[in-house]
Structure 1
């Protein structure tokens, strides 16, 4: 019998906890999914190696690619710079999840690193550091000297583009911004949903899909208070609750 609450598979990241290698997901992602009626489960990077990957994912009604302190490996998008903060296991699992969602129509929400993975999966490229690109000037990177509640507060607008999935929300909103990597070339088949005033791509979607959206900001922090965060999670869980025709 189908669970009445949609099961949302959340990708985990490699992290050292108490001096031991661990697979972890920040609580705020779990809380956001649970708050809007989803039933969260966590996927470690070893899931990518499971020969029964499709059978494992068949229980999932939606996929959440979280933000992370690590960055997408340069080799994934043809870059050659040295990237200190990598998580190759996370890369492997995320790209396999994107392929699965693309093939099956499983709803997928991608946040920050997740947006970057989504863009690269569709053969887009990234700027390793937006601060090195002429023309970008918005405060896209947090002030790490401030408390977390300050770092995650809204700092710049996003201009929502017409004819996309986010257009139903409105034309503009104020969002937080905590990232170094940023979209360079937009991936094939992807629609630009929102831009920062300086032109940096802030949201993308695959319109030929029931629901696949990536956002550069972090909707999971103020998921119960911020109106755009509410919109994103409610739409995600709505589509995850809707049977997909394969």
Structure 2
């Protein structure tokens, strides 16, 4: 009997490709889901429309909120600064996916921008730019003049908190870091799963949910080699498989 491959809905982002608007997902996310036994499907911003959403989510066993070039719109968390890199269609779809995952207990993994969306959805706030906040000193932002393999290499420790979901993995790990926005106030009912040495929140979870975890780093890059990436994707796909254990 063939093993069931859970369907993982991956949020898409607005991109410009050859001068034309496109909906896109970096292949590394698709490959990571496929590698760990999931069946990835890509959701464009139009999936937020009510009729489309209901039909598509009937198919989904899990949800992946990816990282992105864009940032969460300031209006989503009560800020008034100007944010040049926005994707309002992505915001609308991601927040609807978070609401669905919360209501129906659907496994959800959130990466980088996804973690920030998750925090804001639960009433938290963000620092628009962690570099403007006194006390943060770890190298949280990549040097985009370097090759991708350098930008995505591990650069700082995370300290995993006792009693959380990540505590089943280890007490500490070494992660990459490529972000400007960062968690300010943690959202209601969310647990802090990991912190950088400078106190920046690196991972969160919804305690009463069977699997809703957000991480600030990018586990999808070295998904087949990095032990933390193996742990996250394996747990995620296993929980998604339980949605439809054929």
Could you say whether these structures have the same fold, taking a TM-score greater than 0.5 normalized by the shorter chain as the test?
yes
Map of 1:29 onto structure 2: 29
Q: How does 1:4-43 map to 2 (within 5 A)?
A: 4-43=4-43
Q: Tell me the TM-score normalised to structure 2 length.
A: 0.97
Structural mapping, 1:185-224, within 5 Å: 185-224=185-224
Match of 1:133 in 2: 133
Deviations 1:90-142 (A, max 9, x none): 00000000000000000000000000000000000000000000100000000
Q: CA deviation at 1:243?
A: 2.9
**1-structure distance, mates of 2:162, 2:126:** 24
Contact 2:191 2:206 in 1 (8 A): yes
CA contact (8 A) 2:46 2:52 kept: no
**2:68 aligned with 1:68:** yes
Other structure's SS at 2:177 match: coil
Deviation at 1:18, TM superposition (A): 1.0
Q: Measure, in 2, the Cα distance between the counterparts of 1:52 and 1:7.
A: 16
The 1-side partners of 2:101 and 2:15 are apart by 25
Q: How is 1:74-223 mapped onto 2 (pairs within 5 angstroms)?
A: 74-223=74-223
C-alpha deviation, 1:49, in angstroms: 1.4
2:158 aligned counterpart, secondary structure = strand
1:56-86 CA distance string (max 9 Å, x none): 2011000000000000000000000000000
Aligned-partner Cα distance in 2 for 1:169–1:41 = 28
Shift of 1:51: 2.2
Shift of 1:52: 4.3
**1:210 to partner: Cα distance:** 1.0
Secondary structure of 2:51's partner? coil
1:235 to 2:235 alignment: yes
SS of the aligned residue for 1:117 comes to helix
Name the SS of the counterpart of 1:192 in structure 2: strand
Counterpart Cα distance in 1 of 2:54 and 2:137? 43
Q: CA deviation at 1:3?
A: 8.0
Name segments (4+ residues, structure 1) moved above 3 Å: none
Q: Structure 2: how far apart are the matches of 1:63 and 1:24?
A: 16
Equivalent residue of 1:110, what SS?
A: strand
TM-score (normalizing by structure 1) = 0.97
